[in-house]
Structure 1
Amino acid sequence: MTTPPFLVGCDNSGHEAGLGLLLNWIEEQPGVTWQNRWLVSGADADHANGSWREIQLQWLSDRGHASVSRQDAFFRAVNVALAADLFRPPLTWLVTSSLRRGALPRAMEKYRDTVGFTRLRQRCGEDPGVSTASATRVAYRTAQILAAKGGGISDITPGDVLELLEVEAELRGTSVGATHLFYRVLHDLGVFGDQAPATLRELRSAGQRTPEELIDRYGVACRPILDLFVDYLRERQPALDYNSLEALSYYLAKLFWSDLERHHPGIDSLHLPTEVADAWKQRLRTVDKTVRTPDGRRITAQAPRINYRECLTPVRAFYLDLAHWAVEEPSR
């Protein structure tokens, strides 16, 4: 696997040694893509309270790079790799990974979306009600979404914001502040478009969403698949109550397709190889749970998903319905 062109041309700015070590580490992991290698390394799953660092620290130590300067350079390079879209960790990892709050936005501004972050900083600076700490939190949350979803600031959706805030609430057990400000700043920049609610409170208290809005919450990257999900929800809508329709959108767009896109970036077909389908089913069997240790710390651990079959059934029904459409309405 060759070094990503983005990183080859990257201004080292003191990061050269760290980037080299990071690329060496990930190249040693088995896999076809950078995302695959990140996932099999174990760092993606072992995210609780920043404990993912232990994996890389052991690797650095085994190869004679135990100095503090080398370790610091390695972990600073992670921000550059995220800005380069080398791999995409889940939001659960990003919320608990203990990345330096200023480093990730700086890397995203320099290497991913200079114009977007410049506008973001200017908007926060123009508002006397936005403190320096709040502006930093807004930039960091924005960078977290880009690291998990890809794209630039203009690609962020209201659903992305809600998803991040829900993950924060679940893993932290409380709000970490400036949530309404975060939404308002992005809304004021025109990121969400003219139809989005003006405030986070309005968004959370909005009435029943349309099939398009239900699917858009989950940031499906493949447009044909997104359109198909919307069409499918419209087809099922007359026979379902709203709660069932909302749950169906969650199963299909979030648990099924968004998971596939995270593990197989660029995937654009429902014709899944057996190994891809089997791996998805295996991931579906577990769910991250936040638990409290005897010493009072909150950690995230994997637990069996109790409603595994309940999550699998809608996806199977979706495929069966598509097969039925193919027979009854070939032109569709």
Structure 2
Amino acid sequence: MTQTEVPIDQPRRRTARPALPYKQHDHLAPITPAAGGARDRLAIDTVLELLPTSTWARRHKGTADVGPRRILSWLDTYPGSGWQDRWVTSGADNDLAWIDTLISADDPRIPSSQHSQLMDGVARLLRGRIVFPSYGFLTSYNPATLYPRARAAFRPDLFERFDSRAGQLAGTRRQHNCALVVASKLVLHTGRDLDELTPEHLLAYRAWHFSVFRKSPSGLDLAWSVLAEVADFEEYATLADAVRLGQRTTTELVDAYDVKHRTVREVLIRYLDERRAGLDYNTFLHIIWALVGVFWADIEHHHPGLDTLNLPAEVVDAWKQRLRTVTTNDGGSRPRRERTRILITVRSFYRDLQQWAADDPAWAAWSFPNPIRKNDTAGFIKAKAKTTAAMHQRVRERLPHLPILVDTAERLKTEQAALLAATNAAAVGQTFEHAGRQYRRRALKSLDRRGAYQLLEPPTRIEDLTTGEQIDVGKKEHESFWGWAVIETLRHTGIRVEELLEITHLALVSYRVPATGELVPMLQIVPSKTNEERLLLVSPELANVLAIIITRLRTENGGTIPLTARYDKHERVIGSPLPHLFQHRHGWSWAIPVDRTIQKWLNQILQRTGLRDAAGAPLRCTPHDFRRMFATEAVSGGLPIHIVAKLLGHKTIDTTQAYTAIFDDELVRSYRSYLDARRTLRPEEEYREPSDEEWRDFEQHFEQRKLELGTCGRPYGTPCKHEHACIRCPSLRVDPRARDRIVDIIANLRARIDEARANGWTGEVEGLKVSLNAAAAKLVSLDKMRGRDRDTSGGITELGIPVIISATP
């Protein structure tokens, strides 16, 4: 073994992660000039006879062809097989700097008139398809009338179809116009009609635009969706589908780290292929990053020439030392948070090779002593306990503020909806008053290509006449509504954010209780992290939230819920088009929000609450915090922890216990001691998850919870703590049909309080006041829910969910 060691104090390169999950198509960026067309070799006089007319040509009939003739004569002085070659070799395709060089001093007209005539000549040559401009030239040219006239010249029937479809999809006229400009540029540059364009033409334009402006061109995604129908893009219906990499092969992922030694590379690929079948894609990527990127690529960088996995002690020690820190973007360093996990990954790699060598001799050549000792990973349990403690502290800090957050979200949603309604009722430019403040509805304008102002739709922007603030009411209402919907759904279900975004209208089902015939709504949670489906009972509050979401989606989409495909960023796959409940209008299309959008909506509502953490900083809450708060509230309320584990989709109660911040340690020890004693009598499998009979009992426990005013919602397996004084109990879920009964109870309680005061029954007065306050609170809550569960027509919103009838008699 020979090796050249790199000094340990040499700055270590930052470990590269695998390439981004989308394609840049950089190889298409240096676009090859288009080949000459059918008119490429015609004589100048013949070309002039074929050129289309223009406004300039009609106004100056005597000198109409002076501009194009002068340009062609100038191009003819350059070498090339045709006009397109001369156009490129002359440099005319780069920009318009050459135009002024063609202004003649012998021409009696002023230079500005000659310049206008030459510019008209360029436009006529492009429309006549004598030359085909590059995208850089079109950007420099910035023509005012070229694109509309090109659309009128090159298969106007196809452009009419394109225009109609883009108008149906686009949310605003600006998006519509941008798509038309993209289509016009593609036709002018390629010399093809719309129905002859291919995905490669659009990807080449995108790659060029990225290379120059570092972003995708406006309108390209809409143009792609329309051209996918006009030109029949069979493979990809959207631009997003075309640029996503999807799941890459193990070889591609390993080669992203440029492993030098071929034999070690092959061993790594073979090992990772063996592991891949049992892992989700995101976990697989992390293992590759840790094993190939952080471990072996770093070893190769600091010890070039090393060709074996049997590493010398000094090499391993040096690597462990470097592993403690990570280089930051500014050249500094910080402690590496994932150090222990990386060590465990490398240790598992060596252990797997040793075990596999016992069964398969092919691995024996790579079975070496494990360089990662058990003591190296001893800090994992301590780090895990520290993480759990920090997680518990987050829950303890946020759970008391949950009512404030919920109320703020509800109030903000209501306020923004009312302001949007007032804005829509006012004419553009009109001043109106709302909630004691004066506003003026403003028209959002933008300059079009000709320098004229055009109105952008919809104009939901207003000006606060007191502060001068410009407010996009439509955007504010949109964000406040979906922020409220996210908070309500997460706090009532405890699901993960991935599962939230996977909820579809098809996931809502009704279960008919055999004994009573009652229909109970249930929510099917599709596999996310554990690949196990589960059903959640839908509370009246959650049913109300889902009904409002369904109504909104139907209203905004002509009476139906849009079918949208969700891209799973963890698995790098695109799902089938489904009626997802958490989707919104994004630009011109329907889209499922990404995680950062969900977090943005939450942050905006949190900012309005004014809440702060223990350090005095603004309180921050993630979607996963609601999952932990749900678990904590459920366990604290008396629900058995193994039932909570089932609701959350956890395989063991240990995971669930880590989620619950408020939990009696003595109760945990007693419960486990009880289980240990029972395991001597019953099989161990019984205590890993609830039995079918127990789970059915949990689902149907509400059969015995029917009350005069509604349903008792106390946790499963817990006694009544209020001695059946239901009007005081927070677990009472009031039936809307019992409202009149509550009004009668409130009146009766007030009369009894007056009687008690008159007779001097002080103790009775205090007890009756508690009941009165509880009854009044329930009436307010009931009216609030009744007020928001009706659609715009005033009728009750139907969830439209199927019914599951139990086969059990």
Specify which of 60, 64, 73 is matched with residue 103 of structure 2.
Answer: 60
Give 1:118 deviation, angstroms: 1.8
| In structure 1, distance between residues paired with 2:223 and 2:216 | 13
Task: Say which SS state the counterpart of residue 98 (structure 2) adopts.
Answer: helix
1:41 and 2:81 correspond = no
Give 1:127 deviation, angstroms: 3.5
Q: Is the 8 A contact 1:18 1:70 kept in 2?
A: no
Aligned letter for 1:27? S
Aligned letter for 1:54? A
Q: Deviations over 1:190-239 (max 9, x none)?
A: 3134x23111111112569xxxxxxxxxxxxxxxxxxxxxxxxxxxxxxx
Q: Is the 8 A contact 1:154 1:191 kept in 2?
A: yes
Q: Is the 8 A contact 2:54 2:124 kept in 1?
A: no
Correspondence for 1:310: none
1:8 and 2:50 correspond = yes
| In structure 1, distance between residues paired with 2:240 and 2:106 | 51
Q: Aligned ranges for residues 226-305 of structure 1 at < 5 Å?
A: none
| In structure 1, distance between residues paired with 2:48 and 2:175 | 31
State the aligned residue count: 198
Specify which of 56, 74, 77 is matched with residue 118 of structure 2.
Answer: 74
| In structure 1, distance between residues paired with 2:170 and 2:132 | 34
Correspondence for 1:199: 238
1:26 and 2:75 correspond = no
Correspondence for 1:182: 223
Correspondence for 2:134: 90
Over 3 Å counting, the alpha-carbon distance change for 1:166 and 1:19 in structure 2 is farther
Q: Is the 8 A contact 2:96 2:141 kept in 1?
A: no
| In structure 2, distance between residues paired with 1:2 and 1:79 | 16
Which structure's relative contact order is higher, taking Cα pairs within 8 Å and 6+ residues apart?
Answer: 1
| In structure 1, distance between residues paired with 2:66 and 2:160 | 29
Q: Deviations over 1:245-291 (max 9, x none)?
A: xxxxxxxxxxxxxxxxxxxxxxxxxxxxxxxxxxxxxxxxxxxxxxx
| In structure 2, distance between residues paired with 1:35 and 1:133 | 33
Give 1:33 deviation, angstroms: 1.9
1:99 and 2:142 correspond = yes
Q: Alpha carbon RMSD of aligned pairs, Å?
A: 2.8
Q: TM-score, normalised by structure 1?
A: 0.52
Q: Aligned ranges for residues 142-153 of structure 1 at < 5 Å?
A: 142-153=183-194
Q: Deviations over 1:138-190 (max 9, x none)?
A: 12221222222112111111110011011111111233423321211212x33
Correspondence for 1:216: none
| In structure 2, distance between residues paired with 1:192 and 1:106 | 24
| In structure 1, distance between residues paired with 2:66 and 2:164 | 34
Specify which of 106, 112, 119 is matched with residue 154 of structure 2.
Answer: 112
Task: Say which SS state the counterpart of residue 88 (structure 1) adopts.
Answer: coil
| In structure 2, distance between residues paired with 1:70 and 1:115 | 35
Over 3 Å counting, the alpha-carbon distance change for 1:68 and 1:206 in structure 2 is same
| In structure 2, distance between residues paired with 1:63 and 1:155 | 45
Correspondence for 2:166: 124
| In structure 1, distance between residues paired with 2:51 and 2:134 | 27
Correspondence for 1:272: none
Give 1:12 deviation, angstroms: 3.8
Correspondence for 1:294: none
Q: Is the 8 A contact 1:88 1:148 kept in 2?
A: yes
Q: Is the 8 A contact 1:169 1:175 kept in 2?
A: yes
Over 3 Å counting, the alpha-carbon distance change for 1:206 and 1:198 in structure 2 is farther
| In structure 1, distance between residues paired with 2:151 and 2:170 | 23
Give 1:57 deviation, angstroms: 1.1
Q: Percent of pairs identical after alignment?
A: 18
Give 1:6 deviation, angstroms: 7.3
Correspondence for 1:138: 179
Q: Is the 8 A contact 1:18 1:75 kept in 2?
A: no
Question: Structure 2, unaligned stretches of length 5 or more?
Answer: 1-42, 248-809
Give 1:104 deviation, angstroms: 2.5
Q: TM-score, normalised by structure 2?
A: 0.23
Aligned letter for 2:100? L
Q: Computing the radius of gyration over CA atoms, which structure comes out larger, 1 or 2? A: 2
| In structure 2, distance between residues paired with 1:90 and 1:135 | 23
Aligned letter for 1:146? V
| In structure 1, distance between residues paired with 2:83 and 2:119 | 17
Specify which of 210, 213, 222 is matched with residue 169 of structure 1.
Answer: 210
Correspondence for 1:244: none
| In structure 2, distance between residues paired with 1:138 and 1:36 | 30
Q: Is the 8 A contact 2:182 2:219 kept in 1?
A: no
Q: Is the 8 A contact 1:89 1:147 kept in 2?
A: yes
| In structure 2, distance between residues paired with 1:142 and 1:181 | 10
Aligned letter for 1:140? V
Correspondence for 1:260: none
Correspondence for 2:333: none
Q: Is the 8 A contact 2:66 2:117 kept in 1?
A: no
Aligned letter for 2:142? L
| In structure 1, distance between residues paired with 2:112 and 2:159 | 31
